[in-house]
Structure 1
Amino acid sequence: MRGRPERKGIRNRGNHFEQKGKLNDEALASKLFDLLKLEKCLVILDDVWSTKAWDRLKPAFPSAADHSNSKILLSSRTETIISHADASVYLYKLPILNPQESWELFEKIAFPPSDSTVDDKKKKLGKVMVEQCGGLLLAIVVLGGILATKSSLNEWDRVSENVKSYLNRSKVEGQGTMEVLALSYDDLPAHLRSCFLYLSHFPEDYVIRVYRLIQLWVAEGIVSSKEEGDGEWGVAEDVAEHYLAELAERCMIQVRSRDVVTSKVETIQMHDLIRDLCLSKAKEENFVFIVDKSNAFSLSTIRKVRRVSMHEIFETKYNRCPNLRSLSFFNSRKLRELFYVETPLACIVGPFSPLRCFWDIWAAYISFLKARGFWVHIFINLKLLRVLNYEGELAFMNCKLIGDIGNLIHLRFSSLNRLILGKKLPSSLGNLRCLQTLDLRTGSYAYPHVPDVLWRMEQLRHLYLPDECDTKTKLRLDTLRNLLTLENFNTKNCYLKDLVNMTKLREFVIQGPFEIVDFKEKALDKNPPIIRSKYLHTLAITSWSIDPRHLAHLLSSCGSICKLIIYAVISKLPEHHYLSSNLAYILLRRCKLQEDPMPTLEKLPNLRFLEFTSNSFIGNQMCCSAQGFPKLESLSLCGLEKLKQWKVDKGAMPCLRRLEIGSCEKLEMLPAELRFITTLQELETKKMPKKFLDKVVQGGQDSDKVQNFWSNSRTYKRRYTTNSEVISKSLL
């Protein structure tokens, strides 16, 4: 930082000066600090890359605590830099532009103000090109700048033929669009680069489930095991979540959904241009080989590739990669199409049509052999596999899971959850001692017999059993002490006592019957504990019905859960002291509660989200008492067909922000006391009778304070963005 030469005979508050009469950095920073504090200035610091860079600049800029008259606008690609600069400042995240905003920005740049008449054909071409920018501001600005210099329609046509090529060749401050985006990749620390490159496995516009991505990172060893256990973030999955949050903060991924309770990222996507960058870098690093129609047969010539991601299914016999570590399928075609044997026309309408039934039997046998060969090749020739992941279309395997799968002794991750595996799984599964994730969810079309060998997989961290198993299945799981996720557990196919050993369990899903043998009904507290994990945060119960006393004892063992989901007939909720005080989210569905659940639920001190759906309550009256639901933010009452009256005492639900009412056809009116809830911001109604809607909002569709999004003669669905004043007026 340099200043003007010092005038002779003048001292600048005793600051040190360089021999050549120029201010050093510290002196200039001090002078700039004083100037900004006294004068009214707007300072723009664009694209600050690191906290170290800001720490060097910080002495020159007063903060909000210094009561400065000036304002500072700081932009960065990394969210943490803004909070590091000043935790109290306003943080604005630049969103992906919607189509209308994208076009408006493009118009301002591409069409000069002096040009009063714009060719309609150019507009049509422009809109097509803007769509390809996917709302990315940088790409739109670059594209508009290119076309602003093109006057003829032919030139616009040439740009339109290959928009991405022009974006990459264009210059923005001396760099192309892809080169500008590549700066973000170059700035990634080493531990994030592999995490980012792994995203190249997924197809374009694919919605990536975060829990599955993290399991893959851990299985591949991308998340360092050194940070597991005693590391700063705990187990490897926690480290991976931290890495994912860093990528989101650096705008390398787009967050699509978050958990309502913890705000953790649940699903992500990649912008098309960022994905192009990811694919380019992955190709440079030989990180993964993407298989599609254009290069399927190249697998026979590639030897050193370690990861293969199949976006189209092809015969695996072309795979000549003996050192392959990871094989993923993301096919859009049904797997059976690969093995389909076409019936000759002569067997349909020709001279051999009487023999068609024999041909069909022969074709089915050939199809079976091809399917078997498909999997045998994988299980026999790719013995170094660590990851076998199928995320394609739901399909039959056309043959049972071959026993040769036991050859994959290095396997860490196995997911065949959209394949219907047959009636019996091989006992050789027990050879897979290194498995960390095993997903056997096969859909509702098959109820396989799972052999009692899972207890041998002591490294298992995530176990997803079939949605429903054969009645002969009885699994011992007591050795699985490292389990973090257990899904589709039931007492018909598993031993209840084994749950006590799973002291690290975080997510637990019950699918099917849940019964406690030798249950002491008169003294619930004398029954042995069911779960001893202090880390369990999510409990979901999906069953036809469950004994309320068994449910009460189960919930009393889950003192740390913050999410509870019940899809089962229970008739009555347990008393509130059986429920965890940490509960923040409860979803009840088809529970057929006969007694009003509100007196129990309103006592939960941290409950923020509550949803009733599909006849979860079959009574005709609900009542929320004063001081009840102290932290409730969102309440949903849907599918309560018998509910007639809902009473709310003054002082109840003081923090409620969102209220949803749907398919409650007998509900007469909203409680008048809702007008006292000053925090209420949104009221949404779905499939409610017109008579009810007319009572709620006086003035009907002509009210300027009501947004009517959709309605027709058969179903009413309206959303009201409102406040306490609007509700108060409608209820008076």
Structure 2
Amino acid sequence: MADPVTSLVIDPVISFVVERTGELLIQKIVFLKGVRRQVERLKNDLERMRCFLKDADHKQIKYESIRNWVSEIRAAAYDAEDVIEIFASKIESIKDKGFVTRLAYYPWRIVSLNKIGKEIESLQKRLDDIAASREKYDIKNLGEGTTTHGEELQRLRRSSPLSEDKDIVGFEEITKYLVKELWKDDRNRRVVSIVGMGGAGKTTLAKKVYNHADVTKRFKCRAWVCVSSSYDYKKLLSAIIKQLNPTTKELLEVLEMMQEEDLERRLYQDLQDKCYLVVLDDVWEVAAWDNLARRAFPDVGTSSRVLLTSRKRDVAQHADALSKPHELKTLGEEDSWHLFLKKALVHEANAGCPPDLEAVGREITRRCGGLPLAITVIGGLLLGKKRWKSEWENVLNDFGAYLSRSQSEAGEINEAGAILELSYADLPTNLKFCFLYLGLFPEDSVISVRKLIHMWVAEGIMQKRDAKKLKETAAYEDVERLCSRNMVQVAEMTADERIKSCRVHDLLRDLAIRKAEDENFFQIHGTRDDQISAKSRYLAVHSLPLEKIYFGTSTPPLRSLLFFNGHGDRENISLIFKSFKKLRILELDLDLEDVGMYFNLPKEIGEVRLLRYLGLRDASIRRLAPIRRLPNSVGCLRYLQTLDIRGRFDRTVKVSNFIWKLESLRHLYAYKLECDVPLKIEGLRNLQTLSGIRFEDVMHNNMITLTSLRKLGIWVDERSEIDKLCMHLSEVGSLKTLHLYRAIGSEWPSLAGLSKLHHVTELKLKLPTSLLARTMLAPDFPPNLSRLSLNLTFFRDDPMPVLEKLGQLSFLKLKSASWGPQHMVISRHGFHQLKFLGLSRLYSLEEIKVEEGALPQLRCLRIRDCSKLQKLPEELKHISSLDALELVDMPEDFISGLDADTVSSVPNLRIF
């Protein structure tokens, strides 16, 4: 029998690539005039296949019968995109040349047009053959007689409150909290929600709460239904009614005859005058809640409750906006080990683990990543095996393959794999692509969301979004959606509660890798030098020297090539640039050996004409020195969107005057750019981020032409005329963030001109407090400033009297590189909008005084490495808005001396 969920017809790449190729055909039609008819036919055929595949994605078909067919469509779509983009890039490379040069290129253009015509004809023949092969693969009437995907797994996941697991670990405090929430004195119908990733134990916890003595005492009228992702609304209503009434033959017959409206009325009447508790387990869609809540669950002042579990945070928030969903985290190390012993050794768990099995047992537990269901499944597997070290090691070695699959080769359903598969199957097509892409990163990676967004935009994933939104905005929303669905975990949040970095649970990463490799979507090259598939479009190399990468006799048509913790020499790097001319994304995190004192990027980089993302941030030689110069050939990369050349040790990068040629550039990250002549950047209408540019280079350009510029980082010294700079930037209406860096060994110029920057809402400065006190009065700051970061060198005076006058400030971060004042006073007169306050490395600070009524909006206070601070201000307990207190790298005696009354008033105390 075929795997019900793995047998989904489409890998998520297909529809996405076909759609993107059709768009590209439209965009580049100006370069394809001589082959317009072939192009339009190709586009129409691709669109027909896309529609067919989209319909097929909802069907359950034997996976093996169509796998090759789907793979052929994907390859053809990719090749069509490559052919068109490569041809267009060649034409675009001569469009800016003079008339005589363009005339000389005319015969070449005719030859190239003829060549692309033949290539399109060849692609067309491939599509015709693929269409004809549907009958060969027995998929001519795809979907007839099939069921919706995952029905078998849905049956497996149907829950009941009767089968409560007695081997529960780590849920004691959470259970007490949820029972207390259900008992709250509120006569309105309220929803208490449990959210978390599949397998985190939501259902197990809900059962424990449902069967708790205090709950059965309070709610005499109770019912439990498992909703699932493909629910039958009539059956849900009937199931609840059956639990509320004696089961008789007459009732069953009546319910069978009722329509939806009748069932809703009957359920409403059954619940109307009762204090009821209904558990809705595994709710996937908002619509499922809306149907029940609006029509069948009365809200008539009887203190009724609904306990809801879901993998999606937005579903829980929609059900009751006034009730914060309880997010179920994975188990800690010791709780995981305790549960593992209960499941793998049963009665002997209290006696501990046999010494010869403990090391491998703990590694198996670690691989489960705190996921209770995974621990339960793998423990149950070991329970049926001999207690030999070799047996446990065999399970460990096959761990990922076993738990990430929903069905074993023997046909047995694996519940852990089923749950993960269902979460994946529920993702929209574009989110499936995004999720699979995360599998390229190494295990346990903390992934920068900014980097991820730039990569997704470079891949073209955001092509068909709302035209009014930045593609980066749409990409960030996709990160939020994956986190909301608990497919991705938040690793770090910014002060304004945006996701800064994320990670993927090991089991979900295993699932992404298996799905992707099944479809030849990508390959992971680890510590072994296996041959890389000639069909791979995406390749991640983890901790492997370049010379160990074996491509065989053919070069794969790679689009993304990511190196993590590898190493190699200049010759190997040059080979990459020459061989992989279809690359869109190149990430190099390498130690580059034997290339001299500093590494200059090889000129062959200019041959990778389709490159959109070039990440060299940590590329260094033996971790000692970063890249020092970019070759002129980088100016040939007309599609380049992101260039990240920040060095690990903050060194200058020299460039020739070619940046202005990078017309698609959206983000340029550098520590410091140097050019022998004034660097030309004007006209870059797509540029959003520019960091590391010199004051003189900014002043030599008409910055108004940078119509998308949002973030700008500038190097200044004592000769820099900030007043003129701000006048120069005052009409750049898109500019929101300004960072000013002071050159080493120079003095700060006067900063009074900043008040001209009405559009700037975020400012970052590194300056002595004496300058702040002398020249930076409140009117001298940008008038609409909401975020301010100050690195206060030579820190002697309390800056608060100046800063508290910034009426719109919501974010303030103070950091010192030297000494500072012993006392800091935050008065009641200012900071009325401040939501985040960060104090870092204020080494002389002994006391913070907060006046009564100060900081009325503060949500988060972060104190880092303030080694002389004696205690927290007692007034914190009177700030009702304060949600989080973060203490980072603070002395042990400070932590041990915390006043219990003060910290207990803050909902979230985090000590790092």
After TM superposition, the score normalised by the length of structure 2 is: 0.62
CA contact (8 A) 2:603 2:633 kept: yes
CA contact (8 A) 1:679 1:724 kept: no
> Quick check: 187-196 or 32-41, which moved more?
32-41
- Residue 82 of structure 1, aligned match among 302, 309, 316: 316
Letter in 1 for 2:637: L
TM-aligned CA deviation for residue 136 of structure 1: 1.4
TM-aligned CA deviation for residue 110 of structure 1: 4.8
TM-aligned CA deviation for residue 477 of structure 1: 1.0
TM-aligned CA deviation for residue 381 of structure 1: 2.7
- Residue 333 of structure 2, aligned match among 86, 99, 120: 99
- 2: CA distance between counterparts of 1:655 and 1:396? 56
TM-aligned CA deviation for residue 162 of structure 1: 4.3
Letter in 2 for 1:305: S
- 2: CA distance between counterparts of 1:163 and 1:720? 44
- 2: CA distance between counterparts of 1:718 and 1:535? 48
Q: What is residue 307 of structure 1 aligned with on the other side?
A: 538
- 1: CA distance between counterparts of 2:494 and 2:876? 27
1:115-126 to structure 2, matched below 5 A, reads 120-121=354-355, 126=361
Q: What is residue 418 of structure 2 aligned with on the other side?
A: 179
Q: What is residue 329 of structure 1 aligned with on the other side?
A: 562
Q: What is residue 610 of structure 1 aligned with on the other side?
A: 812
> For residues 180 and 510 of structure 1, do their structure 2 counterparts lie closer, same or farther at Cα, with a shift above 3 Å needed?
same
Q: What is residue 792 of structure 2 aligned with on the other side?
A: 590
> Quick check: 447-456 or 285-294, which moved more?
285-294
1:34 aligns with 2:269: yes
CA contact (8 A) 1:471 1:492 kept: no
1:527-676 to structure 2, matched below 5 A, reads 528-544=727-743, 550-554=750-754, 556-557=756-757, 559-561=759-761, 563-569=762-768, 571-573=770-772, 574-580=776-782, 583-592=785-794, 595-615=797-817, 618=820, 622-641=824-843, 648-656=850-858, 658=861, 660=863, 662-663=865-866, 665=868
CA contact (8 A) 1:681 1:721 kept: no
CA contact (8 A) 1:492 1:513 kept: no
- Residue 720 of structure 1, aligned match among 882, 898, 907: 898
> Quick check: 400-409 or 198-207, which moved more?
400-409
Q: What is residue 616 of structure 2 aligned with on the other side?
A: 416
TM-aligned CA deviation for residue 184 of structure 1: 1.1
SS in 1 for 2:855: coil
Q: What is residue 277 of structure 1 aligned with on the other side?
A: 511
- 1: CA distance between counterparts of 2:455 and 2:534? 23
Q: What is residue 386 of structure 1 aligned with on the other side?
A: 584
- Residue 481 of structure 1, aligned match among 658, 663, 685: 685
TM-aligned CA deviation for residue 417 of structure 1: 2.2
Q: What is residue 575 of structure 2 aligned with on the other side?
A: 377
TM-aligned CA deviation for residue 279 of structure 1: 0.3
Q: What is residue 257 of structure 2 aligned with on the other side?
A: 22
1:229 aligns with 2:411: no
TM-aligned CA deviation for residue 609 of structure 1: 4.0
- Residue 714 of structure 2, aligned match among 488, 507, 510: 510
- 1: CA distance between counterparts of 2:889 and 2:441? 38
User: 1:399-434 deviations in whole A, cap 9, x for unaligned?
Assistant: 532323222222111122223566543222211111
1:64-83 to structure 2, matched below 5 A, reads 65-83=299-317
- Residue 526 of structure 2, aligned match among 268, 272, 292: 292
TM-aligned CA deviation for residue 85 of structure 1: 3.0
Letter in 2 for 1:540: H
> For residues 264 and 548 of structure 1, do their structure 2 counterparts lie closer, same or farther at Cα, with a shift above 3 Å needed?
same
SS in 1 for 2:771: coil
Letter in 1 for 2:259: N
SS in 1 for 2:310: coil
SS in 2 for 1:590: strand
> For residues 531 and 679 of structure 1, do their structure 2 counterparts lie closer, same or farther at Cα, with a shift above 3 Å needed?
same
> Quick check: 576-585 or 211-220, which moved more?
576-585
Q: What is residue 371 of structure 2 aligned with on the other side?
A: 136
TM-aligned CA deviation for residue 77 of structure 1: 1.6
Q: What is residue 254 of structure 1 aligned with on the other side?
A: 489
CA contact (8 A) 1:683 1:722 kept: no
- Residue 435 of structure 1, aligned match among 640, 643, 647: 640
SS in 1 for 2:377: helix
1:672-711 to structure 2, matched below 5 A, reads 677=879, 710-711=892-893
- 2: CA distance between counterparts of 1:270 and 1:508? 32
- 2: CA distance between counterparts of 1:543 and 1:396? 34
> Quick check: 583-592 or 25-34, which moved more?
583-592
TM-aligned CA deviation for residue 386 of structure 1: 1.6
- 1: CA distance between counterparts of 2:787 and 2:900? 24
CA contact (8 A) 1:507 1:536 kept: yes
SS in 2 for 1:201: coil
CA contact (8 A) 2:748 2:767 kept: no
User: 1:509-562 deviations in whole A, cap 9, x for unaligned?
Assistant: 234548544957xxx9xx72424444444333332488776533235415342x
> For residues 195 and 643 of structure 1, do their structure 2 counterparts lie closer, same or farther at Cα, with a shift above 3 Å needed?
closer
CA contact (8 A) 1:488 1:512 kept: no
**Superposition CA RMSD, Å:** 4.0
> For residues 412 and 684 of structure 1, do their structure 2 counterparts lie closer, same or farther at Cα, with a shift above 3 Å needed?
closer
User: 1:14-69 deviations in whole A, cap 9, x for unaligned?
Assistant: xxx99997322221222212323322333222212223443444455426x54344
Letter in 2 for 1:381: S
After TM superposition, the score normalised by the length of structure 1 is: 0.76
CA contact (8 A) 2:794 2:820 kept: yes
User: 1:96-129 deviations in whole A, cap 9, x for unaligned?
Assistant: 2111332344455555569875664577765443
Show structure 2 runs of 5+ residues with no match: 1-233, 242-251, 621-625, 906-912
- 1: CA distance between counterparts of 2:529 and 2:871? 63
TM-aligned CA deviation for residue 674 of structure 1: 6.3
SS in 2 for 1:589: strand
CA contact (8 A) 1:490 1:513 kept: no
Letter in 2 for 1:386: R
Letter in 2 for 1:506: R
Letter in 2 for 1:499: M
- 2: CA distance between counterparts of 1:286 and 1:406? 28
Q: What is residue 267 of structure 1 aligned with on the other side?
A: 501
Q: What is residue 205 of structure 1 aligned with on the other side?
A: 444
TM-aligned CA deviation for residue 81 of structure 1: 1.8
CA contact (8 A) 2:694 2:716 kept: yes
- 2: CA distance between counterparts of 1:383 and 1:87? 51
